[in-house]
Structure 1
Amino acid sequence: MSARDAILSRVRAALAGVAAGDDVPAAPRSGPVADVVALFAERVADYRAVVERCSGPDLSSRVVAALPDGARVVVPPGLGVKVPGATVDDGVSAAELDGFDAVVTEARLGIAETGTIVLDHGPGQGRRAISLVPDRHVCIVRAEQVVRDVPDALPLLDPGRPLTWISGPSATSDIELDRVEGVHGPRTLVVLLVG
C-alpha cells in the first residue's frame, strides 16, 4: 500500500458514518478579543510597519506627514483623501511606476489576529502594481474595517476580485537568515488607522 493509499484509507475511516451533506461542527475558535483594533495595531507593528492612529479630521494631515518631503506620489482613482501633488494612476507604465517614491491607498479590511491588510483593488485601492512597486506604501485602514480573524474576513471578500494580502513591509531572508526588506515590494509600510 502506498503512502497516499494509507492516508486516504485513514480519511475514509474517519468519515465512516458521516452521511454526505451532514453538518460537520466547525473547530472551536478562541475566545473573543476585547479590542480587535488595538490587537490589529499591535500585530501590524510586530511586522515592522509604522502604525499611527488618527481621527477622520486629522487623516489628510497625517497622510502628508507620512510621505517624505519632495516625494513623487501615486494614488489610485477614487482615493477618499486629497494628496497634494500626487499623480492619479490612469494606467501608469511599470517603468514610470518605478520612478514614484510612495503610494497612498485605502484597504478593503484589516485582520487583527494576523496583522494583515487586504486590498481587493476596488476604488481607493487601485491596481496591484501601484501597491507593490513604490518603495513606501501608506495604507488607510478604518477601525470599522478591522475584523478579528481570517474566518471573519473571508465572507466579506469577493473571490472574483484580485486580492493582495499584506503583512508588513516586503521582506525576505537569505540562507543565513539575514532579513532584507524591499526586495519584492515596498520597503516601508505606514498604516494610518482611522477611528
Structure 2
Amino acid sequence: MNYFADLLGFLVRTYSIEVMLVITTFILAYRLVKAALQALYISLAPFPPTQFGFNGKLVYVDDSPSSEVFLNHKYELAAKPDFIFKVGWNRYAAVEYKSRKGAVTQSDINQLKAATLAARSRWNVVEGYVITSNKRCRLEFGSNASIYNSIKKQHMAAKAIKILNQKPRLRSDNRCNNCGYRHHCHPDI
C-alpha cells in the first residue's frame, strides 16, 4: 500500500488533477477486483466442515513435542496452538482444544490469544476457538497490540515464573489443586 501512496504523492506534485483522478480510479478498481476475486475464491472452493463446527482446511496440528513452535519476537512469546485452519483467502483460525467437560475459562482464552500472537509470525490468524467437550467459544482478533494488551499481565507473571524462578502464591480457592502444572509451582500438593 505504501507504494500506491508514494506514487499518488508523486503524481499530486507533478501532474494535473485529471491524471490523479485516473490513478485514484485505478486504485479503487484494483481493490474492488481483489475483493471480488477473494469472494469468488471462497464461494468456488468452499472448505470442508471441521470437527469443531466451522469450515476450514487443516494446515497445522500440534500432535507431537517436535511440532513447530511459533515465535513472536516483539512480544517475546512462544506458543503452539493445537490446530490452525485456513478459513478464507489469507485468513486462518487457531483452535485450542480442551478435552475436559465444562466451561471455557479465561485462562483458556488467554492461551488462545498467546498462541494467536505467536502463530501470526507465519499466518494471518483472524479468529480463534476454544473448544471443550461440551462448550465452544469463538473470538475475532484485532491488532497484535490489542491482543497483547489483554494478556500482558498474565504474560509478565509467566515470564517471572520461568525466568526468575518465582513461584506463584498458593491459591486459597483450590484452583491450584486442579491445575495441570501444580507440581511445577508447588511440588508438595
Task: State the TM-score bracket (shorter-chain normalisation).
Answer: under 0.3
TM-score by length of 2: 0.26
**Structure (1/2) with the larger helix percentage:** 2
Q: Which has the larger radius of gyration?
A: 2
State the structure with bigger RCO (CA 8 A, min sep 6), 1 or 2. Answer: 1
Bigger fraction of residues in strand: 1
